[in-house]
Amino acid sequence: MKRLCVFSFKLIALVFTAANVYAQGCTTPPCAPNTVPCAHCIGTWTDDATATWTLTSPANPTTWNTFYTVTGTMRNQTRGPGCPVVTYQLQASSSSINPQEVAGQKGWSYIVWDARNPSPSTSCNGQTPLARITYRGQVFNNGCDFSNGTWDNSGGGHGTFTATKPSEVPTGENTRAVAWWSLNPTVMIYEQTLFATNDMAGRQVYEASNGTPVDNCWFTTSSYRPAALSGGGWYVGYYFFDDRWHYDYVGYDSGAVTYYRANHRTPCTATIPQAMRIYTNDRGNGPTGSLQYATDTLILNIPDSVNYGTSRAGVQAWRTYP
């Protein structure tokens, strides 16, 4: 009986070794859940009734779970041909975006777009602009280009809406070498900052092939496989709710460095073309589109028996190893 108890305990211990993992991104994107909410709703949104909402909110908010004021205009021409475009002003005191983050859940941003004071307010085709229409809903992350929710107006009407805007795409990214990885001293950790006018927090980027890698340290009888992209997706703004994404790990295993040197392969390099893409069009169930925003090259460099280097997008890191 005692042995049985011991066995049972071990069995339970094994059962409970099931993984419970959550990570900043993943290896096979798209990754989920992206907990980082969209930082802003800046841009021109077109709703399902063809009205356009040209909105501004703080471009670089510093934190989530905070209300940020939204201003701008809404224009519609929904009374038929010949009637003028009606322009509403967003009420700053009641229009807001509130990015929400809850651990383990997909991030979202509450929005209230409260449009008032139509101009002109006169009738046309027997229809008169209502004094107020308010949208309440959410902007979904990853793409930050789709929102939905409910509307109500000063006439007592209510319903649901969807709105989209052109997805913002960074013009590139800056790379910074942060540190050699403590667990493998020939792997450099790189941090990236997206080039964008408005905060890109809430978006998701991923790496993709941009050509065939060339590893001329590798040789035909090598027991190490040639260097290659491993694939990965990252959440923008995960640590600091800004334009940064963390981290790209670039390098040979330290044992491989020793191996290639001992096999008289130096000087040698591996060159790995990398494309960076950003996801778009997430309607709540994960992104369904993406756009390339940057290309670069990863280089692993073993020039001799002492020095070792890596490079990402031209940002070099050198050390002596061992």
Partner 1 sequence: MIATSALLAETITIDSPRPLADAVEQIAKLSGPAINYEDVRVLNGADIQDVTDQISRKQVGPNDKRSLGPRGGKLSAQIIVDPTTQTLPDVMSAQNALNAVVNAYNTSGLPGKFKIALGNMSGALYVAPTAERNSTGQTVSFTPVLSSRITLQAVKQTAYVTLEAILGEVSKVSRQKVAMGMIPFRAFAVAEVTIGADNEPANDVLARLFDAVSKAGADVNNVIPAMSYDMLYDPQWGYAFNILVIPNPNIKQPLPAQQTPPVNDGRFNSKP
Site for partner 1 in 248-267 (CB under 8 A): 248-249, 251-253, 255-256, 259, 262-267
Residue 87, number of CB atoms within 10 A of its CB: 16
Of the two residues 172 and 289, which places its CB atom closer to partner 1 in the complex? 289
Of the two residues 202 and 286, which places its CB atom closer to partner 1 in the complex? 286
Of the two residues 68 and 140, which places its CB atom closer to partner 1 in the complex? 140
Of the two residues 127 and 316, which places its CB atom closer to partner 1 in the complex? 127
214-238 exposure pattern, b = at least 16 Cβ within 10 A, e = fewer: ebebbeeeeebeebeeeebbbbbbb
Window 182 to 241, contacts with partner 1 (CB under 8 A): 183-184, 187, 219-228, 230-233
Span interacting with partner 1, options 59-67, 91-99, 154-162, 310-318, rule CB under 8 A: 154-162
Contacts of 64 (CB under 8 A, 6+ apart): 36, 37, 99, 100, 101, 107, 241
The backbone region for 151, taken as left when phi is positive above 0, alpha when psi lies in -120 to 50, beta otherwise, is beta
Residue 130 makes contact with partner 1 by CB under 8 A = yes
Window 277 to 306, contacts with partner 1 (CB under 8 A): 281, 286-290
Window 23 to 42, contacts with partner 1 (CB under 8 A): 23-32
Of the two residues 174 and 305, which places its CB atom closer to partner 1 in the complex? 305
Find the helix or strand (DSSP H, E) in which 262 lies: helix 254-262
Of the two residues 219 and 318, which places its CB atom closer to partner 1 in the complex? 219
Task: Give the span between the Cα atoms of 161 and 47, in whole angstroms.
Answer: 7
Among 63, 66, 92, 159, binds partner 1 (CB under 8 A): 159
Window 69 to 108, contacts with partner 1 (CB under 8 A): 76, 78-79, 86
Question: Measured from the CB of residue 99, what is the shortest distance to partner 1 in angstroms?
Answer: 20
DSSP calls for 149-171? EEEEETTS-EEEEEEE-PPP--S
Contacts of 105 (CB under 8 A, 6+ apart): 33, 35
CB 266 within 8 A of CB 304: yes
